[in-house]
Amino acid sequence: MTMNNQGRPTAPGTIEANELPTISGDRGLMHEEPLIFELGRPGMTGVDLPEVQMSEARLGGMRRKGPVGLPGLSEPEVVRHYVRLSQTNYSIDAGLYPLGSCTMKHNPRLNEKMARLPGFADAHPLAPQKTVQGAMEAIAQLMNWLTTLTGMPAVAMSPKAGAHGELCGLLAIRAAIEARGENRKRILVPESAHGTNPATAAFAGFTVDEVPAKGDGHVDADALEAKLGLDVAAIMLTNPNTCGLFEKRIIEIAEHVHRAGAYFYCDGANFNAIAGRVRPGDLGIDAMHINLHKTFSTPHGGGGPGAGPVVLSEALAPFAPLPLLVHDSKGFRLIEDRADLPEGANPFGRMCAFHGQMGMFTRALAYMLSHGADGIRQASEDAVLSANYILASLKDVMSAPFGDGPCMHEALFDDSFLEGTGVTTLDFAKAMIDEGYHPMTMYFPLVVHGAMLIEPTESESRESVDRFIHVLRTMAEEAKAGKTERFGGAPRLAPRRRLDETAAARKPILRWKPKDLPQAAE
């Protein structure tokens, strides 16, 4: 026989080598990446543009005197830098994101492709209107989906995110009250509300009056009714609420609110639980924003951009902000000015330059068309089913404050099962990172001590959810059995261990500075 001893050896090596610090500081696929400002060299650029002859005559004597201070890098260096940064991020494409109230569902790439069609992405907001009919028609189609699914007569498209939509809704309410010649300044907000609700109410010039939650996780409808009066402008209620429950008495609440001359603002953050099964218009709601990135899967993008169209009732529709999109015999038209308004319209103002988050509209429209009305209904049902499945599978080892009844699209647990274990909600959540999961939403809603809010969404297969349940069950059992070593310093296996947020806040360093400048100025 012939012996080939040139081949690749296959011995596995020793475990101990794992603990050895590397020479480079990198660890295999995990790279330590400097700041972009610490890379590059003067004169280099990653964009080739020809040098031009330019006169200063038309700069009005305002030419920049010094350099900006940007580093110079070639294209491959920039690409590598941002690819390496990306590799330190968790993402929905890579794993389950059980974030209650945040809805991290699958982001179809078809939506990305559609949003980039030149007829949408390369359309200018102030181009002559006869040249952008298709872009306006796409907005009109999305408006039709939104008003049909919500059972509401009108929708304002310009708000740029959920919180901006809340502001839009409250400004419409403010305008409606002023048009009635009344002065109502108080807004009722349940204590379980998301922080944006009271922040927006204050921003819109109202005072906030908190309504307590009942022991069963529902808003206290009687307390709410008792607080209604001639100075109440509106209530802001999330439904399904932040405890993951459908407010059973919502129609009755709406009736009381209307009888008192106030309006009903619904935070639509959780519309994804009921889309296709319940129309908010049937519940007596006057205004509701829709987070397109939650219910209609536009990508979360590490924090934005969002889009927050607001559906409006008959009573509030006249006050929708400019611009308005109309369709008549001449085609689609944007009304951008008061002089041009249709009968009855009385806009409260303008939310932003231009017409809203077109790039998000086209993604959401592609998503809706893909699902269809039947698929949207199924998606809501699957989201609710998965959350209930998790609740049913974990409530014997983790404590569920409202575990008796069905939940909607998110399952709420509290930290009482960790009592006496020495493990905190934070430890438990951070240990999930070592297991390959993003932590669930923690310490929200505030009405539950040590809250853990889990939303699997409809995007997860049963196998995926089962595996998640197995991991959480085992963690809960270990914590209770005193096997707590995995919790204390968690995460151990992430690109970074826990970060010192106190130091960051006490002496804020908010930008890079060249070494020769004193950092003390920060």
Partner 1 sequence: MRYLPLTSDDRAAMLNRIGARDMDALFRDVPKAAVVSRSMFDLPDTQGEIEVERHMSRLAAKTTAAGSLPFFCGAGAYRHHVPASVDHLIQRSEFLTSYTPYQPEIAQGTLQYLFEFQTQVALLTGMEVANASLYDGSTATAEAVLMAQRVTRRPKAILSGGLHPHYAETVETVAALSGEVVRAPVTPGAAEDIAAMIDDKTACVVVQSPDVFGLIRNLKPIAEAAHAKGALLIAVVTEIVSLGLIEPPGAQGADIVAAEGQSIGNAINFGGPYVGLFATREKFLRQMPGRLTGETVDAEGKRGYVLTLSTREQHIRREKATSNICTNSGLCCLAFTIHLSLLGEEGFGRLARTNHAKASALADKLAAVKGVSLATQSFFNEFTIKLPKPAVEVVDALVDKGVIAGVPVSRLLPHDPNVRDLLIVAATETNSDEDCAAFAKALAEVL
Partner 2 sequence: MSEVRFTDQHEWVRIDGDSATVGITKYAAEQLGDVVFVEVPEAGRNIGAGGEAAVVESVKAASEVYAPIGGEVTEGNTALADDPAKVNADPEGEGWFFKMKIADKGELAKLMTADQYAEFVKGL
Could you list the residues that contact partner 2 (CB under 8 A)?
A: 501-502, 505-506
Contact 271, 280 (CB under 8 A): yes
Residue 226 binding result from partner 2, partner 1, none, given CB thresholds of 5 to 8 Å by partner type: none
Residue 454 binding result from partner 1, partner 2, none, given CB thresholds of 5 to 8 Å by partner type: none
CB nearer to partner 2: pick between 183 and 519: 519
CB nearer to partner 1: pick between 40 and 262: 40
CB nearer to partner 1: pick between 110 and 419: 110
Interacting span for partner 1 (CB under 8 A) from 1-9, 15-23, 201-209, 230-238: 201-209
424 binding partner 1? (CB under 8 A): no
CB of 131 to partner 1, least distance (A): 4
Whether the bond between 491 and the residue before it is cis, its omega within 30 degrees of 0, is yes
Interacting span for partner 1 (CB under 8 A) from 4-12, 176-184, 223-231, 374-382: 374-382
199 binding partner 1? (CB under 8 A): yes
Q: Is 428 helix (H, G, I), strand (E, B) or coil?
A: helix
Position among 4, 10, 89, 329 found at the interface with partner 1 (CB under 8 A): 89
Q: Is 221 helix (H, G, I), strand (E, B) or coil?
A: helix
CB of 344 to partner 1, least distance (A): 20
What are the C-alpha distances in Å from 415 to residues 397, 425, 469? 11, 6, 17
Whether the bond between 305 and the residue before it is cis, its omega within 30 degrees of 0, is yes
Contact 384, 409 (CB under 8 A): yes
CB nearer to partner 1: pick between 13 and 76: 76
d(C-alpha 311, C-alpha 289), whole Å:
6
d(C-alpha 514, C-alpha 71), whole Å:
11
What are the C-alpha distances in Å from 169 to residues 13, 133, 232, 251? 63, 28, 15, 20
For residues 282-321, which are near partner 1 according to CB under 8 A?
282-283, 299-307, 321
464 binding partner 1? (CB under 8 A): yes
Whole-angstrom Cα Rg for the chain: 27
CB nearer to partner 1: pick between 163 and 262: 163
Contact 421, 479 (CB under 8 A): yes
CB of 350 to partner 1, least distance (A): 4
1 binding partner 1? (CB under 8 A): no
Whether the bond between 495 and the residue before it is cis, its omega within 30 degrees of 0, is no
CB of 425 to partner 2, least distance (A): 13
For residues 39-78, which are near partner 1 according to CB under 8 A?
40, 42-47, 49-55, 58-65, 67-73, 75, 78
Cα 38-42-47 angle, rounded to 5 deg: 95
Site string for partner 1, 331-370 (x = CB under 8 A): -----xx-xx-------xxxxxxxxxxxxx-x--xx-xxx
What are the C-alpha distances in Å from 420 to residues 415, 423, 505? 10, 8, 31
255 binding partner 1? (CB under 8 A): no
Q: What are phi and psi of 155, to 5 degrees?
A: -145, 135
Interacting span for partner 1 (CB under 8 A) from 269-277, 309-317, 417-425, 447-455: 269-277
For residues 466-495, which are near partner 1 according to CB under 8 A?
489, 491, 494-495
Question: Distance of alpha carbon 422 from its chain centroid, rounded?
Answer: 32
Residue 261 binding result from partner 2, partner 1, none, given CB thresholds of 5 to 8 Å by partner type: none
CB of 373 to partner 2, least distance (A): 42
CB of 498 to partner 2, least distance (A): 12
Question: Distance of alpha carbon 63 from its chain centroid, rounded?
Answer: 41
For residues 214-243, which are near partner 1 according to CB under 8 A?
none
d(C-alpha 274, C-alpha 377), whole Å:
8
Residues 19-47 as b or e (16 or more Cβ within 10 Å = b): eeeeeeeeeeeebebeebeebbeeeeeee
Residue 133 binding result from partner 1, partner 2, none, given CB thresholds of 5 to 8 Å by partner type: partner 1
Residue 499 binding result from partner 2, partner 1, none, given CB thresholds of 5 to 8 Å by partner type: partner 1
